[in-house]
Amino acid sequence: MKRLFLASAVCMLASTTVFAGVTEEDIANDATITSQVVTNGMGRHLQRFSPLKSINKDNVKHLVPAWSFSMGGEKQRGNEAQPLIYDGVMYVTGSYSRLYAIDVKTGEEIWQYNARLPEGILPCCDVVNRGAAIYGDTIIFGTLDARLVGLNRKTGDVVWKDKIANYKAGYSYTAAPIIVNGLVITGNSGGEFGIVGEVQARKAETGELVWTRPVIEGHMGTLNGKDSTMTGTLNATWPGDMWKNGGGATWLGGSYDADTGMLVFGAGNPAPWNSWLRDAGSKDDGKGDNLYAASRIGIDPANGEIKWHYQTTPREGWDYDGVNEVIPFVDKDGNKRYATADRNGFFYVLDRKDGGFVSASPFVKNITWAKGIDEKTGRPIWNEDNRPGDPKDAADGGKGKVVFSVPSFLGGKNWMPMAHSPDTGLFYVPSNEWGMDIWNEPVSYKEGAAYLGSGFTIKPIFDDYIGSLKAIDPNTGKTVWEYKNDAPLWAGVMATAGDLVFTGTPEGYLKAFDAKTGKELWKFQTGSGVVGQPITWDQDGEQFVAVASGWGGAVPLWGGEVAKKVSYLNQGGSIWVFKIPQMLSSK
Ligand code: CA
């Protein structure tokens, strides 16, 4: 009854306003329309910057909860989602493939969709979901069994469903889809199971598949149901049949650069992790580069053709996935550039025309696997002796030489998105300072089984902190300020024109910092670790800030000694929305 009543209340609300749902124009202008948030990244360029400044560095101390919403039930675990705001409703995904529509004024639930997940799903790194996409009146999100679901945004009723890939073979899905010219575009997850990374485009209104683009060389793409072109050149950078289960999961989704008309997706680690099995071990002759794993890729949204690539970690051997988000910005000389902070510990600036290398600088300390990035070629200058050893060299053919590598495989930066403020010109990067013992082992591919050929133990490298929020000047690669956190940072970052930077901590806080100096100005304890992505919007003249709370993600599952160090953290599952009471907003 409650559900029916609320649904009719929404219809009454709807009848008083004229809307045809989210348009291409809404999506294209999301970064500047402050009354709604209809894209992942708070705008297609993923800058996570809001021009709002009613909440600013002078009054943020007065920020208090407006409402909180429990995601309920026994299903807790990590809440990594970015909420969307449209037409008075917050749409937010939860752990275990759930989606909630919440009245943004009251915090009351309008509807919820709970995907029925089969037994035997294989998510590598917690049962998270990072968000949904809206087009027209359809809200679309992906589920842990590698499906896409389109729901009527007013009722939560299923409009269409489609399968991305077979979950039994290790495929899953966790990223926020993107919408470009009426297409919904998605990646896939499962790089630890020897799946093949792919980007797919469907008609957002019907779910009809338009094109597919595998990102590992040798695999065939499709367009309108027919074979299109092969990715790369067969066996150019992969030995034998290893490309067939070559990984490169496009698990963090992608973005659309409206200026160049190009999709930009990242591809994760080549599979298996043991680089010697992929010819990537001994020689730097290009034959073991394993394209397009550990790369950023520019893709034509009309037909799925790859137009450019830049590989951050050729000959990858540490699980340095190349999936991190790519953010367009303008440098000090007025050049249109991309910035991306890679799992391998380097902050890259690329050319937006073709993804060409411009510069790279380390953003975490004590990197072991490379001395730096060659300024001319953009290739790493390897420390070959920091590559985990070939098991074939071990006396019994078992475990290869163990090395201690920095960053750990969870990365100088993992999935959690950075923000860029055009006001300060800085990037705000949620990074972690940690390392790992890593070694290689023999492995062969078996469908649905882990395909690593590696073992590992993650360890802190400093006594007093792991997490490090850094403000980085992309013109110099230098860190302008740094905030150190005891536990590893795992939440998204947001910057605002109010000279503020927001992010969350596993210790449970949502925090606000001065964007210029890094001074902590405000914090609020949400009751569980914050690994979600903050957003802000204005409604009826007031600015709101929201974030999901709920500790989880990859750290408790894979963090080794770090996981033990933070095992005291409590799980949860809630949304928090904040505002400044009107009487205090000018104080
Ligand atoms: Ca990986």
For the chain (587 residues), the mean pLDDT of every run of 10, in chain order, is 44 50 97 98 98 98 98 90 98 97 98 96 94 98 98 97 98 98 98 97 97 98 98 98 98 97 98 97 94 98 98 98 97 97 98 97 98 97 97 87 98 98 98 98 97 98 98 98 98 98 98 98 98 97 97 95 95 97 76
What φ, ψ does residue 106 adopt, rounded to 5°? Answer: -110, -20
The domains located in the chain, with CATH, are 20-584 (2.140.10.10)
Residue 421: partners with Cβ closer than 8 Å, 6 or more residues away: 47, 49, 428, 495, 496, 497, 501, 515
Structure tokens at 19: 């809307």
What φ, ψ does residue 509 adopt, rounded to 5°? Answer: -90, 140
Angle, CA 304 vertex, CA 199 and CA 183 arms, to 5°: 75
Rg of the chain on CA atoms, in Å: 22
Residue 14: partners with Cβ closer than 8 Å, 6 or more residues away: 87, 154
Ligand 1 centroid vs 270 CA: distance in angstroms? 8
Give me the residues paired with residue 393 across strands.
none
CB 67 within 8 Å of CB 577: yes
Q: Return residues with CB closer than 5 A to ligand 1 (ion).
A: 191, 268-269, 319, 321
Ligand 1 centroid vs 52 CA: distance in angstroms? 36
Ligand 1 centroid vs 469 CA: distance in angstroms? 23
CA distance 112 to 110: 7
Residue 235 region by backbone torsions, left for phi larger than 0, else alpha for psi between -120 and 50, else beta: left
Ligand 1 centroid vs 317 CA: distance in angstroms? 11
CA distances to 6, 329, 330, 480, 513 from 334, in Å: 50, 9, 6, 21, 27
pTM for this entry: 0.95
Structure tokens at 9: 């209340």
Ligand 1 centroid vs 191 CA: distance in angstroms? 5
Give me the residues paired with residue 457 across strands.
437
Residues involved in catalysis: 319
Structure tokens at 549: 């709370």
Ligand 1 centroid vs 126 CA: distance in angstroms? 13
Closest CA to 534 of 109, 79, 125: 79
CA distance 178 to 47: 15
pLDDT at 2: 41
CA distance 79 to 252: 15
Ligand 1 centroid vs 438 CA: distance in angstroms? 14
Q: Specify the residue for token string 């070939």.
A: 390
DSSP string for residues in 108-133: -EEEEEE--PPTT---SS-S-----E
Ligand 1 centroid vs 103 CA: distance in angstroms? 37
Ligand 1 centroid vs 320 CA: distance in angstroms? 7
What is the residue type of 221? G
